[in-house]
Structure 1
Amino acid sequence: MSAALPIRLAVDAMGGDHGPAITLPACRRFLEQHSEAELRLVGRPEALAEAAGWPRTRIVAATEVVTMDDAVEVALRRKKDSSMRVALGLLKAGEDGRAQADVCVSAGNTGALMAVARYLLKTVEGIDRPAIATVMPNQLDGYTTVLDLGANVDCTAEHLLQFALMGSALVAAVDGKNDPSVGLLNIGEEAIKGSEVIKQAGELLRAAGESGRLNFHGNVEGNDIFKGTTDIVVCDGFVGNVALKTAEGLAAMLSNFIKQEFTRTPYAKLAALVALPVLKHFKARVDHRRYNGAALLGLRGLVFKSHGSADAFAFEQALSRAHDAARRGLMQRVHDRLQAAPPARADAPTPAAA
């Protein structure tokens, strides 16, 4: 993709818990911060009327909405004109060979988004199952990319290798790290620990590291995510989703504890005034909204998932991450990583998806 071309974002403006009440303010702010970007706002025209005169914005009509409670089958088979499906469809090449958008962003139902995206876009060659990747803050004042976060409950060793390759491409594209380090999440650093799948994955990752296809650090434990031991941590979707939700809950609990202690007595309130700059900085560092925007890796198109409960600030972060990934050629980087990697075993079992 030429750097001179604008990045076109297809936005499911109806998705999430709040729909246009959140997505539209976020999109307006995003446009102000990214003068070269263009938006395709997808949804019911009457709900998106205020965006009709925005610069670099086109409204694409969709008559249906996939709710957060809709089953995957409903999104796939019944709501064929949903804002989610129409937005994803803009990533497919038309008769002229060019898609109408470079990346899609939605805060909608995760299971539905993954299913519809996989149905419409298909997976890239060499990838059995797409994975969800996002970032979690670490104590180095940066963040660690973790995948999978819920797309696949059970994974084979080959799937974990594929996740590592895609995660490396993501970090290289978005963060500019050409040789990001990869850790395999386990119950200990020793190679002999973990389930048989984890041991087999460790062997594949070590082989990929020795051949120069990956910068494999070795096994890591849960606390290494927050230490920043590696740039990327690979795990199956069950473990990854539990880790993500635990981290978000812990951050919210600690913030609430601090607030309670600083409001317990008049003296504590006075101390809070003195400590206000430090408290604001702490809140910003643990604010999960700053890290909103999970990439659905392994598809023949760039798709980013926002938290369904995201506010306008958080949704804007998802838009920015999606924009950066498209601008820095994430799709091509994933392709290049996979081309350099050995093929997965043909006899590998296929586990159930989430």
Structure 2
Amino acid sequence: MSLPRIAIDAMGGDVGVRVMIEGAALARRRHERFQFLLVGDEARIVAALENHPNLRAASEVLHAPDVISGEDKPSQALRRAKTTSMGMAVDAVKQGAAGAAVSAGNTGALMAISKLALRTLPGIDRPALAALLPTLGANDLVMLDLGANTECDARNLVQFAIMGAAYSRIVTGLEAPRVRLLNIGTEEIKGTDALRVAANELKAASAELAMSFENFIEADKINRGEVDVVVTDGFSGNIALKAVEGTARFVADLLRRSFASSLRSKIGFLISRPATELLKHHLDPNNHNGAVFLGLNGVVVKSHGSANALGVANAVAVAARLLEENLTQRIATDLTRVGADNLRPTGRTAAKSRAAE
């Protein structure tokens, strides 16, 4: 049985057509049920498909005359959405021509286009960008928001927690993921008013939801395997994510430099190579590629701009799994169960929320 088609923005990312088509082809080889709508420059896509007959047989090409660049502002992208590969891929989801869209293009533009085209689910004020991060535990963790919303109130954080828990149940198989709010300390008195209000709301709602809310977590504990969902505003989340990625690259580069420093070190590298290969695999962002815009009336997956074919294939697999597991309906059901629409922003955060809208 085939899944709904997945629309691929073939022009997005640092490399563009070649890597996006190679990634889709790899995903198709892994999963014969995948069907694709490849959106972009038709001539370039058709030429790239010559090397991938299996993908060609499972794909339709939709010509897009324009491309959104990494420098385009979201407002510029919105004005050109109807003629760009990114905008047309998302519109295919809106029109029912595809079940999900995958793009490696401009994140801000993709968020703006997706939110305008698909709108948010009832009870969700703002979509959140969620991604998987490696841990020392038995499974990856879900972290959100990672940059879609720089300022969030308690209501937003509660909605993020509900969406993140639903996503975690799909990707980890856990019945009640452990959820925590990112904070500067674990004591109940720490953090902003929004964090403390959100914590109280989630404690009260946990009995109605398939999650285990465990209050706060500090940034140095994110990857220890002690939590399954980390919730924060997009400003803090983006900084935390880049700090984690930068530390991973630092460790990898430091090991590489150390092993090359002397003959004894090179011999040591040969002895420890199985362990270093495992480390490399664990830290490679391509193995965790595929961030998701949660809270939309449709599935949109953001691939890292520098992802290789393996990374793109993994992003496609994320989109397919969310379709198969009906993520959107799961989130809607949880929102109804907890009555999240009853939470209202108050005080200063309410003023900021109204100003943002």
Which range, TM-score by smaller chain? Answer: over 0.9
2:80 aligned residue: 78
Q: CA, structure 1 residues 172+212, in 2 after alignment: closer, same or farther (shift >3 Å)?
A: closer
Q: How far apart are 1:8 and its partner, in Å?
A: 1.5
- Say which SS state the counterpart of residue 90 (structure 1) adopts: helix
Answer whether contact 1:173 1:333 (CA < 8 A) is retained.
Answer: no
2:49 aligned residue: 51
Q: How far apart are 1:351 and its partner, in Å?
A: 6.4
Write out aligned runs for 1:129-278 (5 A).
129-212=126-209, 214-278=211-275
The amino acid across from 1:91 in the alignment is V
Quick one: which of 309, 312, 321 aligns to 1:312?
Answer: 309
Quick one: which of 338, 341, 349 aligns to 1:341?
Answer: 338
- Say which SS state the counterpart of residue 131 (structure 2) adopts: strand
**2:112 aligned with 1:125:** no
Q: How far apart are 1:330 and its partner, in Å?
A: 0.8
Q: How far apart are 1:140 and its partner, in Å?
A: 1.4
Q: How far apart are 1:223 and its partner, in Å?
A: 2.3
Mean Cα deviation higher: 4-13 or 188-197: 4-13
Q: CA, structure 1 residues 352+326, in 2 after alignment: closer, same or farther (shift >3 Å)?
A: farther
Q: How far apart are 1:331 and its partner, in Å?
A: 1.1
TM-score, normalising length: structure 1 = 0.94
Answer whether contact 1:205 1:214 (CA < 8 A) is retained.
Answer: no
Q: How far apart are 1:177 and its partner, in Å?
A: 2.0
**2:94 aligned with 1:92:** yes
Measured in 2, the distance between the counterparts of 1:62 and 1:296 equals 23
Measured in 2, the distance between the counterparts of 1:223 and 1:245 equals 13
Answer whether contact 2:131 2:144 (CA < 8 A) is retained.
Answer: yes
1:303 aligned residue: 300
Measured in 2, the distance between the counterparts of 1:284 and 1:276 equals 12
Q: CA, structure 1 residues 247+233, in 2 after alignment: closer, same or farther (shift >3 Å)?
A: same
Measured in 2, the distance between the counterparts of 1:351 and 1:139 equals 40
The root-mean-square deviation of aligned C-alpha atoms, in Å, is: 1.7
- Say which SS state the counterpart of residue 275 (structure 1) adopts: helix
Measured in 2, the distance between the counterparts of 1:352 and 1:159 equals 15
Measured in 1, the distance between the counterparts of 2:280 and 2:2 equals 37
Mean Cα deviation higher: 241-250 or 191-200: 191-200
Task: Mark the runs of 5 or more structure 1 residues left unpaired by the alignment.
Answer: 94-98
Structure 1 residue ranges, 4+ long, deviating more than 6 angstroms after superposition:
351-354
1:96 aligned residue: none
Q: CA, structure 1 residues 232+244, in 2 after alignment: closer, same or farther (shift >3 Å)?
A: same
Q: How far apart are 1:270 and its partner, in Å?
A: 1.6
The amino acid across from 1:90 in the alignment is A
Measured in 1, the distance between the counterparts of 2:147 and 2:107 equals 9
Query: Which structure is higher in helix share?
Result: 2
Answer whether contact 1:91 1:100 (CA < 8 A) is retained.
Answer: yes
Q: How far apart are 1:46 and its partner, in Å?
A: 0.9
Q: CA, structure 1 residues 351+229, in 2 after alignment: closer, same or farther (shift >3 Å)?
A: farther
The amino acid across from 1:259 in the alignment is R
1:37 aligned residue: 34
Measured in 2, the distance between the counterparts of 1:218 and 1:66 equals 40
Residues 169-189 of structure 1 deviation map (CA, whole Å, 9 limit, x = unaligned): 111223322321211111111
Aligned residues: 346
Measured in 2, the distance between the counterparts of 1:11 and 1:202 equals 38
Measured in 1, the distance between the counterparts of 2:216 and 2:155 equals 16
Q: How far apart are 1:80 and its partner, in Å?
A: 2.4
- Say which SS state the counterpart of residue 40 (structure 1) adopts: strand
Task: Mark the runs of 5 or more structure 2 residues left unpaired by the alignment.
Answer: none
Measured in 1, the distance between the counterparts of 2:143 and 2:235 equals 12
Q: How far apart are 1:58 and its partner, in Å?
A: 0.9
Tell me the percent identity: 36
The amino acid across from 2:49 in the alignment is A
Q: How far apart are 1:138 and its partner, in Å?
A: 0.7
Answer whether contact 1:213 1:341 (CA < 8 A) is retained.
Answer: no
Measured in 2, the distance between the counterparts of 1:109 and 1:150 equals 12
Residues 281-332 of structure 1 deviation map (CA, whole Å, 9 limit, x = unaligned): 1111111221111010011110000111111111111111111111111111
Q: How far apart are 1:13 and its partner, in Å?
A: 0.7
Q: How far apart are 1:344 and its partner, in Å?
A: 3.9
Write out aligned runs for 1:106-125 (5 A).
106-125=103-122
Answer whether contact 1:8 1:102 (CA < 8 A) is retained.
Answer: yes
The amino acid across from 2:62 in the alignment is V
Answer whether contact 1:87 1:104 (CA < 8 A) is retained.
Answer: yes
